[in-house]
Amino acid sequence: MRVGLVCPYAWEVPGGVQAHVRDLAEALIALGHEVSVLAPAEIPEPGEPSDLPPYLVPTGRAIPVPYNGSVARVAFGPVTKKRVRRWVRDGGFDVLHVHEPTVPSISALACWGASGPIVATFHMSNGRSRAMAAAHGVLQPTLEKISARIAVSEPARQTLVEHLGGDPVLIPNGVALARFARAEPMPGWPGEGGAIGFLGRFDEPRKGFDILAAAMEQLVRTRPGLRLLVAGPGDTDAALAAMSPAVRERVTMLGLVDEPAKERMLRSVDLYVAPNTGGESFGIILTEAMSAGTPVVASDIDAFRRVLEDGTCGALFPVGDADALAATLADLLDDPARRAVLAGEASRAVARYDWAQVAADVVAVYETVTAGTTGVVEDTRTQRLARLVGLSTT
């Protein structure tokens, strides 16, 4: 089967949707399918070396736009639309699989420019959003072209149903279990004094890094060997400057890391902490830490509670409560037997997220929507309609 995958967010910027699309593409290729991925990314000059994977077709530089409590780096405009249409027209796809088609980026443009089997995956969890509700009429023509809808979690499914209707199938984010399990810890980690890990955009408030830093302020007073290992993009100098000297000297900042380094980082700590305050529909980093055999401590938001089975597979603490986080971390650092129990339960639970199973479930959706069809073609009729109603970018 020839599959066209569309990622709406900048490929070079780490994020759950980007990771999902990348891993799905590679899992589908491993199953023998032909895959092309379209995503916002810098287009290399002819003859210049590129770090982009061979299956990726870049649409050009992304633009940062505030969205859903974060900053989404997306692509749109006349030039981008032409590139999307050309990719759809020349792709010869049996099925087009767009991610987050309600985001103003290339997934929506691909839906407008294509006719035939279209599958859409929805990742976002956004409670009651007046903006999404108001945009329902504008989005409806796009949504009507979608043959099947997938939600990566129950919160994402609820967001879709409440705002836009429909009844999506639930297929979770996947994780490369074997890759994380076989990774080697970094030299000298975790060490005898204990090590805590955090991965994410540490200067984005909803990721909760300031809550973890406040908990570390309490922990370092009585734990002279405790260290904090941090990976992810952000202003390192500003983050360190905001900490007390006692905490700062315990922190190791890795910056933005690639996949092998992330796998090693998660194997290098005694506990992984996810102190997010909201806006998460799943929590792929939790399943990655679980795959690495590292016990998880996470804030008690709905998405995390579901992944951790209400605390069976990891410890939960009240959202935003640095004191409770410090107490939970202290208890687990002093109780290796409890950590081993959590890691064992996590290993059991995370097996259902292995990409081999997740990709097979996605392929089953593809087979359903492509039965008896002739594949994806360019939809010039819909593009003309879009121009007439003022929804086109040209």
pLDDT on residue 142: 76
Number of H helices, E strands in the chain: 17, 17
pLDDT on residue 163: 80
CATH level 3 topology of 2-174+354-388: Rossmann fold (3.40.50)
Q: pLDDT digit string (tens) for 23-37?
A: 999 999 999 999 999
Mean per-residue pLDDT for 168-197? 95
Query: Above 60 in pLDDT, residue 382?
Result: no
Give the DSSP per-residue string, 58-94.
E-B--EEEEETTEEEEE--SHHHHHHHHHHHHHH--S
Residue 389, Cβ neighbours under 10 Å: how many? 9
Percentage of the chain modeled with pLDDT above 90:
75
Query: Which residues does 198 contact at the CB level (< 8 Å), separation at least 6?
Result: 209, 212, 228, 229, 230, 231, 232, 272, 273, 274, 275
Cα-based distances in Å from 325 to 162, 302, 320, 334: 33, 17, 9, 14
Interatomic CA distance for residues 64 and 41, integer angstroms: 13
pLDDT on residue 137: 55
How many residues are there in the chain? 394
Q: Which residue has the higher pLDDT, 133 or 339?
A: 339
Interatomic CA distance for residues 232 and 19, integer angstroms: 14
Question: Could you tell me which CATH class the domain 177-352 is placed in?
Answer: alpha beta
Query: Above 80 in pLDDT, residue 380?
Result: no
Average of per-residue pLDDT values in the chain: 91
Please report where in the chains the tokens 């975790």 appear, as a residue. 190
Residue 78, Cβ neighbours under 10 Å: how many? 10
The 8-class DSSP code of residue 313 comes to S
310-332 in b/e form (b: 16+ CB < 10 A) is eeebbbbbebbbbebbbebbbeb
Q: Which residue has the higher pLDDT, 131 or 355?
A: 355
Q: pLDDT digit string (tens) for 81-140?
A: 999 999 999 999 999 999 999 888 999 999 999 999 999 999 988 755 555 554 555 567
pLDDT on residue 341: 98
Helix (H, G, I), strand (E, B) or coil at 207: helix
Identical fold, 2-174+354-388 and 177-352 = yes
* pTM of the shown model: 0.81
Query: Above 50 in pLDDT, residue 67?
Result: yes
Domain ranges of the chain: 2-174+354-388, 177-352
pLDDT on residue 391: 44
pLDDT on residue 282: 86
Q: Which residue has the higher pLDDT, 47 or 338?
A: 338
Q: pLDDT digit string (tens) for 276-299?
A: 998 888 888 999 999 999 999 999
Q: Residue 144: pLDDT band by 50, 70, 90 thresholds?
A: confident
Among the residue ranges 141-155, 208-222, 352-366, the one predicted with the least confidence is: 141-155
Closest CA to 330 of 217, 210, 184, 177: 217
Interatomic CA distance for residues 29 and 6, integer angstroms: 15
pLDDT on residue 127: 58
Give the DSSP per-residue string, 208-276.
-HHHHHHHHHHHTTT-TT-EEEEESSS-HHHHHHTS-HHHHTTEEE--S--HHHHHHHHTS-SEEEE--
Token pair listed for 228: 């904090």
pLDDT on residue 378: 86
